[in-house]
Amino acid sequence: MATVRLDQKSRALTRAIPESYHSALAKFFGSGPTDINLAREQHNAYCKALEDAGLEVHVLPEDENQPDCVFVEDQAVIIDGHVLLPVPGHPSRVNEQPPIADFLIEKMGGAQICRMSGDARMDGGDILRLGDIFFVGRSSRTNDGGIKELEDLLEHLNYELRIIDIPDGALHLTSIASTPTDEIILAPKGMLPEDAFGELPEGSQVCWMPIEETYGCNTIGLPGNKVLVAEGYPAVLNKLIELNLEPIILDVSQFRAGDGSLTCCSLFY
């Protein structure tokens, strides 16, 4: 998940994969999961990689009535101990939220919790943080009402928000971009305008990757210079090595089949 800085990543929430995952929404990267056992093996490896990097990982039980429930990133926006619970942008995903909200409220005692309401819609996957700057994707899942609620929270916290229009061929902002460190954005060249992220602070940069490696641009930066990266994206891998990072490569073919990427499967709290 992309709304915390590297130094704030010590605990991760994930959720197990139900048998019903074969019915997960899929129309961007994937055409639907085909192998639930493999999906579970890949998810176990993902949780282990987070643990090996020193994080405490909690796995919520799956819910057979919620085929997409493994993609917890969309269900909460956690910023500096504040939690925004969005109304998810797809109606079939609304009922995934209560156990995640209950868990966060219990574990983040004292956190300020805001609940989105009315016509506002947002998936957490539309938010990206680079240090003190936040980016939000205006997408098929996140509307102007949702963006306004995020903007109000960020104004209160004194952070800047920049809006990026997500092209029709992409699901979320984090489907096409990530911040493997607090200074680097990875994004596919040609998918977004070159000035999409605006002027960045000194020392920060956008690394534009080949458009064929769009999926690989979703990475998870972890403490100790480690970065989780999907298997099969050599240009992204080489860029991470060039940046003196330590890539941990994971096969996530069954996440991709359900339109999910690495960041989709965790919330850092």
Q: What residues line the site for ligand GLY (CB under 6 A)?
A: 24-26, 68, 71, 90, 93, 171, 258-260
CA 95 to CA 90: how far, in whole Å?
A: 10
How many Cβ atoms from other residues are within 10 Å of residue 63's Cβ? 17
Give the nearer residue to ligand GLY in terms of CB position, either 9 or 172: 172
Give the CB-nearest residue to ligand GLY.
25
User: Least distance to ligand GLY from the beta carbon of 19, Å?
Assistant: 16
Joined together, the tokens standing for residue 172 give: 């979320």
Give the nearer residue to ligand GLY in terms of CB position, either 24 or 136: 24
User: Least distance to ligand GLY from the beta carbon of 258, Å?
Assistant: 5
User: Least distance to ligand GLY from the beta carbon of 11, Å?
Assistant: 23
DSSP 62: P
User: Least distance to ligand GLY from the beta carbon of 183, Å?
Assistant: 29
Beta bridge partners of 197: none
Give the nearer residue to ligand GLY in terms of CB position, either 24 or 262: 24
Give the nearer residue to ligand GLY in terms of CB position, either 29 or 197: 29
